[in-house]
Amino acid sequence: MFYCRYLDLSGCYFSGNIPTSFGRFRELETLILTENILISKVPAVLGNVTSLRTLELAYNPFSPSHFPPELGNLTNLESLWLSMCNLVGSIPQSTEKLSRLINFDVSNNGLIGTIPSVIFQLNNIVQVELYNNSLTGVLPMGWSNLTKLRRLDVSTNKLTGTIPDELCELSLESLNLFENQFDGLFPESIAKSPNLYEIKLFSNRFSGSLPSELGKNSALQYLDVSYNKFSGKIPQSLCEMGALEDLIMISNSFSGSIPASLGNCRSLLRVRFRANELFGEVPTEFWSLPQVYLLDLFGNAFSGNISHMISGAKNLSNLQISRNKFSGVIPSEIGKLKNLVEFSTSHNELTGEIPGTLLHLGQLGTLDLSFNELSGEIPLGIHTLKQLSELNLANNGFSGEIPDELGTLPVLNYLDLSGNYFSAEILLSLQSLKLNKLNLSNNRLSGMVPEFFDKSVYRNSFLGNPGLCQGVSGLCPAKGGRQHEGYLWALRAIYTIAGFVFLVGIAMFIWKYQKFKKIKKGITMTKWTSFHKLGFSEFEIPDGLDEANVIGNGASGRVYKAVLSNGEAVAVKKLWEKTVKDEIPYGDEFEIEVESLDKIRHKNIVRLWCCCDTGDSKLLVYEYMPNGKYAYTLHVNEKSDIYSFGVVILELVTGRRSVGPEFGEKDLATWVHTTLNEKGVDQLLDPNLNSSFKEHICKVLDVGLRCLNHIPANRPSMRRVVKMLQESVHYNVPGMGNKNGKLSPYFPKSV
């Protein structure tokens, strides 16, 4: 046994300690114990196994312990993977002796202190992974010694200062510096790297311009510089090699126009120029990029028309061009975008009528044309938009009657037609909608308002319509002076009698109200976003946020079971204040990311009914799952949420619900494990899935199984899950080699 050379016990659910006898291996070259339930701490005796070339202990719930300095004795070591091993303290000086090390990964730990200069003694290093620790200080000088370094990830730390030129002069492939406090200019020299495919700098304080030749010398694929202070123009050369897929530049100060060269970048998938100072006309070809599924130009000063060439953007599902200066008509060609889920073009200068071709968009969920100069009537046939949940036509010049068929839209819950010239009476068919937002104010409506709308939620929905009367209190003139005075006398008498009762109960009310405020701190109904037709009003949600209704607590927040007036139960996740500030995306980003959940169409996925973003508090309202399933779904910590995501993956791959009579007393997860061991993978897969993609489907299944690890600490982070899913589909970047499920590209074993 002690003459073994290769030992891989990963994912075997071994528990307890690593035996001290492991230090007696004489010829062991590879030891892989990842994804088990090993506790205690990383044993120092492993430093005795000097023959080791690969040591991988990642994803074990070790007790908090320091990085063993004895590991510096492993002078033959080429790969050291200690991610999520609960390491604390600093990186030891003895690390400098690992001169043959190629991969150094101590990510997802609690390491503190600065990045030690000893790392610059590792002359053979190819990959350094230090992300998600608590490292401080600046990036030290000495990077020029690491001539073989290709991938560096120091993201999600507390690093400061500027980026050394010598680091960017290396032949880097991937550079991840996001979520730190870096500032200053970004070195021009990074553009010279011939193999650079990934740069992620978001959430720092960088300023100045991007390197003018970025993308000219390498096949750049991913660029995210969001939430910095960059300015200047967008470089012309970003897609010169034709490989760029993600171009994310949210919330900077970029100016100028979109480079014409990007109109030829047919590899683009996501483009986000939100909240910059860009202007001018969008290049015609840019509207028709065939692979783009997200085009976000929100909050700039773009002008000109929406090109009819947009019909070429066959993959487009999310078009956000609000708060610009676009003019002209809405092109009829938009009706050819069969995958379009959101079309938001508010606060522009668009004119003309709504083209009838928009009624061909069967997947459309959000249509926001507010604050333009549009006119005409709402086109007949709008009932065909069965997925439409939000319709906002406010502050235009629309006229005519409100079509009766609006009341037949099955999931519509946000309707704003205010500030137009709609006339005639309010249709009774609108009563059938479960609306959380209804605004028909400032039109030319007349007649009676149905009594159905005499509710507080609709209190301001009909103001500014002089012809409206009856049904809703406050809209009608008084009738008869004496009768009116009699009513006033009666009301005064009632109020006098009730005053005594009120005073008796005021003390208890204040006490309960103070408790209520503490529970609901920060929950002011500022912005509700609904994703399905609701049978309740969001204004009922706060009533369920009581300590007695708590069904789960965790690192990211608390979950309540709220029973509504109609008897329905929902699960409400309220995120902690720290989570809101540190982890939830900024501003509109929270809403955008949450809305992406609504695009997942599968019968087995638990519904997210709606969300609330108040700026200082976030609520997520889910379908309630009984039978104790919140231990694996909405119990709010990251690892149990990962379990829930793993169940979703299994449901998608197998085509089965998470619970069902075919499982007896088991659930889907247990059934999958049993069937996989006894009958093989072919008996698991949904027969409706295309068999030609079996290899990719099996990789996705493997990701799901990793998420279902019975030990929460051993489940991968969502960041790792996303990376593995990307790798399982089609990502094959030259020079990246085998990734082995790593969070950043993993070096090939042959290096």
Judge whether 425 lies within some domain: yes
Q: Which parts of the chain sit beneath pLDDT 70?
A: 1-2, 470-504, 507-539, 548, 552-557, 565-567, 576-607, 613-617, 625-641, 658-666, 710-714, 727-751
The H-assigned helical ranges of 154-309 are 165-168
Q: Verify that 483 and 606 share a domain, yes or no.
A: no
Q: Verify that 429 and 504 share a domain, yes or no.
A: no
Q: Verify that 266 and 241 share a domain, yes or no.
A: yes
List own/partner pairs for 162-167 with CB under 8 A and 24 or more apart. 162/138, 163/139, 163/187, 164/139, 165/189, 166/141, 166/142, 167/139, 167/143
Q: How many whole angstroms separate alpha carbon 151 and alpha carbon 137? A: 20
Q: Which amino acid is at 701?
A: L
Q: Verify that 615 and 664 share a domain, yes or no.
A: yes
Q: Verify that 414 and 544 share a domain, yes or no.
A: no
Q: How many whole angstroms separate alpha carbon 393 and alpha carbon 399? A: 11
Judge whether 89 lies within some domain: no
* CATH number of the structural domain spanning residue 225: 3.80.10.10
* CATH number of the structural domain spanning residue 606: 3.30.200.20
Judge whether 454 lies within some domain: yes
- Is beta strand 270-272 parallel, antiparallel or unpaired with respect to 294-296? parallel
Q: What is the pLDDT of residue 577?
A: 53
Furthest C-alpha separation in the chain? 107
Q: Which of 470, 463, 456, 404 is nearest to 431 (CA)?
A: 404
Judge whether 80 lies within some domain: no
Which residues are within 8 A (CB) of 244 and not within 5 positions of it... i.e. 6 or more apart? 215, 220, 221, 223, 238, 265, 267, 268
Element (DSSP H or E) covering residue 492 = helix 481-519
Q: Verify that 670 and 563 share a domain, yes or no.
A: yes
Q: How many whole angstroms separate alpha carbon 23 and alpha carbon 55? A: 13
- If one counts the domains in the chain, the total is 3
- Is beta strand 618-623 parallel, antiparallel or unpaired with respect to 569-575? antiparallel
Q: Verify that 504 and 626 share a domain, yes or no.
A: no
Question: Which parts are annotated binding residues for ATP?
Answer: 574
Predicted structure pTM score = 0.72
pLDDT (tens digit per residue) in 710-745: 666 667 777 778 777 776 664 443 333 343 333 333
3-state SS, 392-404, equals ECCCCEEEEECCH
Q: What is the pLDDT of residue 550?
A: 74
Q: Judge whether 473 and 454 are in contact, CB under 8 Å.
A: yes
Which residues are within 8 A (CB) of 485 and not within 5 positions of it... i.e. 6 or more apart? none
Q: Judge whether 111 and 90 are in contact, CB under 8 Å.
A: yes
Residue 429 sits in which domain range?
Answer: 138-469
Provide the β-strand partners of residue 79: 54, 103
Which residues are within 8 A (CB) of 508 and not within 5 positions of it... i.e. 6 or more apart? none
Q: Verify that 294 and 394 share a domain, yes or no.
A: yes
Q: How far is CA 734 from CA 170, 378, 547, in A?
A: 18, 51, 54
Q: Tell the burial category of 171 from Cβ atoms under 10 Å away from its Cβ (0-12, 13-18, 19+).
A: middle
DSSP at 275: S
Which residues are within 8 A (CB) of 450 and not within 5 positions of it... i.e. 6 or more apart? 426, 428, 430, 431, 471
Q: What is the pLDDT of residue 585?
A: 46
Q: Is the dihedral of CA 33, 39, 40, 41 positive or negative?
A: positive
Q: Verify that 488 and 357 share a domain, yes or no.
A: no
Judge whether 123 lies within some domain: no
Local structure of 736: helix, strand or coil: coil
Q: Verify that 462 and 576 share a domain, yes or no.
A: no
Judge whether 110 lies within some domain: no
- Other residues' Cβ atoms within 10 Å of the Cβ of residue 581: 11
Q: Which of 559, 593, 557 is nearest to 575 (CA)?
A: 557
DSSP at 115: P
